[in-house]
Structure 1
Amino acid sequence: MSKPNHLATETSPYLLQHAYNPVEWFPWSEEALKKAKDESKPILVSIGYSACHWCHVMEKESFENEETAAIMNEYFVNIKIDREERPDIDQVYMDAVQAMTGSGGWPLNVFLTPDGKPFYGGTYYPPQQLYNRPSWTDVLHGVANAWHNKHEEVLQQANNLTGYIEQSNTFGHDNAEQNFTHEKAATIFTNLMKQADTLEGGFGKAPKFPQTFSIQYLLKYYHFYKNEEALKHALLSLDKMIYGGIYDQLGGGFARYSTDAEWLAPHFEKMLYDNALLLITMADAYQLTKNDLYKETIDHTMAFITRELLSPENGFYAALDADSEGEEGKFYVWSKKEVEEVLGADAELFCKFYDITETGNWEHTNILRVKISVDDFSQKHKIDLPVLKEKLKEGREKLLKAREKRVRPGLDDKILLNWNALMNTACCKIYAATGREEYRELALKNVNFLLAAFLQGENLFHTYKNGHAKISAFLDDYAYLIQALINLQEITGDVSYLMKAKELTEHVLDNFSEAETGLFYFTGSQQKDIIVRKKEIYDGALPSGNAVMISNLYYLAVVFDVQLWHERCNKALGSLVKMCENYPTSFGVWCDLILEVIRGTREIVVTGEVVDEVRKEILANFIPYKVFQSASQENNLFPLLSGKSVTSQPLIFHCKNYSCSEPVNNVDLLLKQL
């Protein structure tokens, strides 16, 4: 083993994986940047994350190779970055690589001038030239040669590319007045469905990502306009994922995406944020349809999360790796013989249901998936439905127990504030949908941990491990946490969460704002170690921090009656409406907010000496776009609660612009009013 490099004292599991490479890796630091300037060397920044399959491949092929490492050490200052710890740096250099090559991904390998400006880059490079990709050593020699022999051209390229990145960050200045009409909602729906795979669910072609924001829009669009096509495609998309190999049929939880159109073969990494977003979407689907499939999948996924991703401190770990024993998916796949050895006489039925064959359904082995529903299978094979369900349950439990004896995939045990806040919102949403008290309790324990671990004075931090939080928080951290606090208030009635949300919102307004557009920068005003302060507006794997923050402002403007916040939301949203209409799969959270503006926000208040049961009953219903407060004592600090008496029997108020109809005393009457 090589001696440790400069990553050995880091806490990120991804960086620690590279701590004994012969490459002299540095973390992103003043020391590394100074070294590059002092020695007039270009910087190689290599960005990845611990659950990334191709990151592992390139490490094994190139970064562990002594001869390759010698070239890197001679010509470059080498910096390794965990993209989950420093998404701000990843965003800037991903933009650069996409501008240069037309595509991006991880590992992301970018060459910079000593002052941090990118001039060349790409993603995975093989050790030998392959499929029109140059070898990694060819790239290293080529860049080193250009740096020494075409220095002025390299600097010009770096300046041009940095200028392009800055220019591409100037959106949001078109603040023309927008009419938020029903026609705009319909246009968004129509353009979404143009990308819909109406056979296999989801949007676009392989590789397929869950795209939960678009599914949520379809559910809400159906709710308001009774468009059956919207509901059909939303549920088809969820069902196909739940039945597919992207879902862990034994242990619960979803992988990040599917490599094929029918959701069979994922890259097997399991990320906390994907599961949080899918839980939120399934909570909506269950509230709307009361289909037990969604409730069962919620419970099964939560069993996975609490078993494998929950820390003793009630934080959630980041991810599980795709690989074990150096092989992708090995932990999750089965041969028919292995299943027969575990299940014996019951194996035939189990294999038939989960598409397990002698030849395999993926690379000569089997990923468990469901090709027809359990109800249809019961009828087709003339098996009593309760008997079939029990047999399958017993089989899953036996195989899960057997699987536990295998070598487990690596765990990325850092705790990220933004992902935890998303998971907290998920716990709130699934508590509301299912009424299961343990989900509410988990949300409360988690937020107590987050506020204790990540908040120091007025400032939040982004990542936590071994009792220590570090790296100043980004917009996503603040936005997602504020969103979680809003949801916690709804499920508890505790207004202290709203006060904390307001405090954090004011900090964001002071430190992240771009005044001209009403939008927000991804990084705070104090952060100085990046070449561009980006405004991230696209909803990708994670919701745009801008979209979530504007949604938060929209909600809190009602709660605290702040007209300026409301006006800011309209200004920011108005500048992006055209993009949202034309490219709805890239702006799902924004589209959701546009639909809320079109349909209006319901204001619902419950007062009474005992309000818990009524609150729970209201939350169980699918009521999009509401501000919901409940109080067991009089409270004049909040406009919606002000002047409302508290009696022994609960009273339910439906309001608009703080003007309330006569209170009713049961939830059915409220639903009729809505």
Structure 2
Amino acid sequence: MAAPSSQSGSPNRLAREPSPYLRQHAHNPVDWFPWGEEALARAKAEDKPILLSVGYSACHWCHVMAHESFESPDIARQMNEGFINIKVDREERPDLDQLYQGVVQLMGQGGGWPLTVFLTPDLKPFYGGTYFPPEDRFGRPGFPRLLASLREAWAHKREEVGKQARLFEEGLGELAAYGLDAAPGTLSAGDVVELGRRMAQEVDPVHGGFGGAPKFPNPMNVALLLRAWRRGGGAPLKDAVFLTLERMALGGVYDQLGGGFHRYSVDARWLVPHFEKMLYDNAQLLHLYAEAQQVEPRPLWRKVVEETVEYLHREMTDAGGAFYAAQDADSEGEEGKFFVWRPEELQAVLPPAWKDLVQRHFRITPEGNFEGGATVLEVAVPVEDLARERGVPVAELERELAAARTALFEAREQRVKPGRDDKILAGWNGLTIRGLALAARVFERPDWARRAADAADFVLAKLWDGTRLARSYQEGQARIDGFLEDYGDLASGLTALYQATFDVKYLEAADALARRAVELFWDARKGAYLTAPRGQKDLVVATYGLFDNAFPSGASTLTEAQVALAALTGDKRHLELPEKYVARMREGLVGNPMAYGYLGLAADALLDGAAGVTFAGTREAVAPLLASANRVYAPTFAFGWKEPGAPVPPLLAEILEGREPVGDRGAAYLCRGFVCERPLTEAEALAGRLVAAPTGA
């Protein structure tokens, strides 16, 4: 764990917290509190405003503000004298982060981390921002000047502060339920095509991705472009997806030696990243590249998936099989130091011929492309061009480059590694299980399905007791009641895992999680899902899980899971809320598709009427059918299996009734809208039916 805080002085309360992010601030001279009763009671007793600072362990600018301000004795003195200072790990309390990001949005700013918000003792915000420098610069007030001004306002302009707080509270309430007053509508296949075409207008035609710098992978929106292409949106949509995936895979945003994707690039061409690696990004990208392989197999897609899975296994997997949350951008106090290279470093590792080859392939120059003359690796000259230049077969050059990359990777492993946030989050593990499960099917890697199953077994054993899902697991302890995203993400991941393993225990757990989520989070009056369990007492405004941002809203993943559960179990009740919710959100989805990308994926599956295929027969008999089905891009179909003579689980009794092999041949029963076609026994015929999806016309 990278610790931005100075280790001098006595530790504060945060030293006792499990969160790596909070512990990073344990030696600040700031009198930090974790969020909780003690801090909130102290604010009321001392009549002091609350300084709320929200971030996460891999956040570079959080580290910068910690170094500049929270480690400063003078600034800490101002904070301690005037405020009750509370640190929150946004990965532990996404509901608080979502709520108070609204303050910055209402102030006309973009939001982000570190989030800095000032609250009254009854939790009503009256001012906010993100990063504040130690003195006036970047068009931002210096943090000491801001602290003095707000302390003065609290002491002598309390009425104005109260008025501002009431305005913010009103605004936050409107933000939290934004769009929920729209009239319900009916989403059509044509709408999905139009969503894709509108989103494609935002794609950079040169480098792929949406917009300019900074550029984020945004995998759910890229996936929605593929869905629109599938429904007849035209080749340009697929081309935009493949351009994006190719440029990301060849750029510096992808770790060319160790696999896995960094958070985003600071430029428009995917070259220089912010170097943190987040589990949720890699989980979603794993799924997306596996889908690309189904659309059009390419060696690059396979390489990215294989290397990303290996990265997750090597760096992000707990001994129990679950996945850690994040890796830091910094090592030895410098951003990116672990990942970048200089020509002289190559010389110490590689023989001259390999050194020249690697320098040309990755464009490693004395000038560099990063701070201090260092180089972020990108595939600047393709292997095919290098082979042509040197007059050698491509395969031979690939072998040389692979050996050189291995040597560089092993040398890099000797460096001080970036810190790792080792908490295990239920929801993010669900996203990773989903990605691994699809990749296992597409690339015929049962070992990847076992890794997904190991993570699922851990989360179900340690964080789920049948009625309550905990959000976080760390140091042997399950903590914090799960949020909507935890239930939705995990249910979605488990439905995907069932389709990779056909182990019904994962489907049963997904069914239980989805039903419990409805009990805890569905607001029938609003026709939407609450972010936090109903009755959460420390939120000044109830928040709803509406928007898909860096990671999907729990409402979107839960809707996806419910549609899959309907297809896999035959229980039409699982479609009741997806139909209501998608109708409620139709206007927002059509009006602003970039903000609802994952909901678009779930809605697209709903349009196909809980589409599913049940394979009937022994594993050997259905293997050709299943392999053929896994190779084609049919993202709205859910796959189940009935083994002849095996006991039928109660959950599957309805869907499996009458599903039998045809003679001694395995059979595939393809259904839409709970109406099934005649069973198919030929793999080619099944693949043809799966890709014959309805168009947007």
TM-score using structure 1 length = 0.97
Counterpart of 1:671? 687
Residue 568 of structure 1 deviates from its aligned partner by: 2.4
Q: 3-state SS of the aligned residue for 1:41?
A: coil
Distance change >3 Å, CA 426–CA 186, structure 1 → 2: closer
Matches within 5 A, 1:2-81: 2-81=9-88
Residue 641 of structure 1 deviates from its aligned partner by: 1.1
Counterpart of 2:424? 415
Counterpart of 2:376? 367
Kindly indicate whether residue 162 of structure 2 is the aligned counterpart of residue 147 of structure 1: no
> How big is each residue's C-alpha offset from its partner over 1:277-334, in whole Å with a ceiling of 9 and x where there is no partner?
1100000001111111111111111111111111111111111110111111011111
Q: 3-state SS of the aligned residue for 2:430?
A: helix
Q: What stretches of structure 2 of length at least 5 have no aligned partner?
A: 1-7, 691-697
Q: 1:348 aligns with which of 350, 356, 377?
A: 356
> How big is each residue's C-alpha offset from its partner over 1:102-130, in whole Å with a ceiling of 9 and x where there is no partner?
22111111110001111011111111111
Counterpart of 2:507? 498
Residue 595 of structure 1 deviates from its aligned partner by: 3.0
Distance change >3 Å, CA 433–CA 104, structure 1 → 2: same
Of the structure 1 ranges 524-533 and 52-61, higher mean CA displacement relative to structure 2 is found in 524-533
Q: 1:458 aligns with which of 452, 464, 467?
A: 467
Residue 163 of structure 1 deviates from its aligned partner by: 1.2
Distance change >3 Å, CA 144–CA 174, structure 1 → 2: closer
In 2: Cα distance, 1:9 partner to 1:120 partner: 29
Of the structure 1 ranges 514-523 and 219-228, higher mean CA displacement relative to structure 2 is found in 219-228
Counterpart of 1:251? 258
The answer to whether the Cα contact below 8 Å between 1:284 and 1:622 also exists between their aligned partners in 2 is yes
The answer to whether the Cα contact below 8 Å between 1:610 and 1:648 also exists between their aligned partners in 2 is no
Q: 3-state SS of the aligned residue for 1:81?
A: strand
Letter in 2 for 1:36: A
Q: 3-state SS of the aligned residue for 1:459?
A: coil
In 2: Cα distance, 1:599 partner to 1:649 partner: 28
Letter in 1 for 2:670: H
Distance change >3 Å, CA 657–CA 584, structure 1 → 2: closer
Distance change >3 Å, CA 491–CA 277, structure 1 → 2: same
Counterpart of 1:213? 220
Q: 3-state SS of the aligned residue for 2:472?
A: strand
Residue 572 of structure 1 deviates from its aligned partner by: 1.4
Letter in 2 for 1:263: W
Letter in 1 for 2:72: N
Counterpart of 2:387? 378
In 2: Cα distance, 1:380 partner to 1:516 partner: 67
> How big is each residue's C-alpha offset from its partner over 1:2-31, in whole Å with a ceiling of 9 and x where there is no partner?
111111110111100111111010000100
Q: 2:640 aligns with which of 626, 629, 633?
A: 629
Letter in 1 for 2:657: S
Q: What stretches of structure 1 of length at least 5 have no aligned partner?
A: none
Matches within 5 A, 1:290-439: 290-345=297-352, 346-363=354-371, 364-439=373-448
Residue 560 of structure 1 deviates from its aligned partner by: 4.0
> How big is each residue's C-alpha offset from its partner over 1:448-481, in whole Å with a ceiling of 9 and x where there is no partner?
1110110134101001111101000000000011
Counterpart of 1:156? 163
Of the structure 1 ranges 598-607 and 170-179, higher mean CA displacement relative to structure 2 is found in 170-179
Q: 1:229 aligns with which of 236, 239, 248?
A: 236
Residue 84 of structure 1 deviates from its aligned partner by: 0.6
In 2: Cα distance, 1:177 partner to 1:223 partner: 26
Residue 599 of structure 1 deviates from its aligned partner by: 4.7
Of the structure 1 ranges 257-266 and 541-550, higher mean CA displacement relative to structure 2 is found in 541-550
Q: 3-state SS of the aligned residue for 1:78?
A: strand
Residue 561 of structure 1 deviates from its aligned partner by: 4.1
Kindly indicate whether residue 650 of structure 2 is the aligned counterpart of residue 641 of structure 1: no
The answer to whether the Cα contact below 8 Å between 2:527 and 2:584 also exists between their aligned partners in 1 is no
The answer to whether the Cα contact below 8 Å between 2:593 and 2:600 also exists between their aligned partners in 1 is yes
Letter in 2 for 1:108: L
Counterpart of 1:132? 139
TM-score using structure 2 length = 0.94
Distance change >3 Å, CA 638–CA 225, structure 1 → 2: farther
Counterpart of 1:90? 97
> How big is each residue's C-alpha offset from its partner over 1:634-655, in whole Å with a ceiling of 9 and x where there is no partner?
6374433112235653111122
Percent identity of paired positions between Structure 1 and Structure 2: 38
Residue 536 of structure 1 deviates from its aligned partner by: 2.2
The answer to whether the Cα contact below 8 Å between 1:269 and 1:321 also exists between their aligned partners in 2 is yes
Letter in 2 for 1:102: Q
In 2: Cα distance, 1:66 partner to 1:283 partner: 51
Query: How many corresponding residue pairs?
Result: 674
In 1: Cα distance, 2:665 partner to 2:181 partner: 51
Distance change >3 Å, CA 416–CA 23, structure 1 → 2: same
Counterpart of 2:452? 443
Counterpart of 1:569? 578
In 2: Cα distance, 1:515 partner to 1:172 partner: 15
Counterpart of 2:695? none
Distance change >3 Å, CA 262–CA 437, structure 1 → 2: same
The answer to whether the Cα contact below 8 Å between 1:610 and 1:649 also exists between their aligned partners in 2 is no
Residue 603 of structure 1 deviates from its aligned partner by: 2.2
Counterpart of 2:196? 189
Kindly indicate whether residue 255 of structure 2 is the aligned counterpart of residue 239 of structure 1: no
The answer to whether the Cα contact below 8 Å between 2:471 and 2:482 also exists between their aligned partners in 1 is yes
In 1: Cα distance, 2:284 partner to 2:101 partner: 24
Letter in 2 for 1:117: K
Residue 194 of structure 1 deviates from its aligned partner by: 1.5
> How big is each residue's C-alpha offset from its partner over 1:524-581, in whole Å with a ceiling of 9 and x where there is no partner?
1142121122112111110111111122222223444444442322221122222222
Residue 447 of structure 1 deviates from its aligned partner by: 0.7
The answer to whether the Cα contact below 8 Å between 1:517 and 1:572 also exists between their aligned partners in 2 is no
Q: 3-state SS of the aligned residue for 1:317?
A: coil
Counterpart of 1:656? 672
The answer to whether the Cα contact below 8 Å between 1:554 and 1:566 also exists between their aligned partners in 2 is yes
The answer to whether the Cα contact below 8 Å between 1:310 and 1:317 also exists between their aligned partners in 2 is yes
Distance change >3 Å, CA 457–CA 556, structure 1 → 2: closer
Counterpart of 2:210? 203
The answer to whether the Cα contact below 8 Å between 1:559 and 1:639 also exists between their aligned partners in 2 is no
The answer to whether the Cα contact below 8 Å between 1:425 and 1:487 also exists between their aligned partners in 2 is yes
Q: 3-state SS of the aligned residue for 2:638?
A: strand
The answer to whether the Cα contact below 8 Å between 1:607 and 1:652 also exists between their aligned partners in 2 is yes
In 1: Cα distance, 2:608 partner to 2:664 partner: 34
Kindly indicate whether residue 494 of structure 2 is the aligned counterpart of residue 485 of structure 1: yes
In 2: Cα distance, 1:330 partner to 1:507 partner: 45
Residue 488 of structure 1 deviates from its aligned partner by: 1.5
Kindly indicate whether residue 589 of structure 2 is the aligned counterpart of residue 593 of structure 1: no
In 2: Cα distance, 1:171 partner to 1:516 partner: 14
The answer to whether the Cα contact below 8 Å between 1:54 and 1:106 also exists between their aligned partners in 2 is yes
In 2: Cα distance, 1:528 partner to 1:176 partner: 30
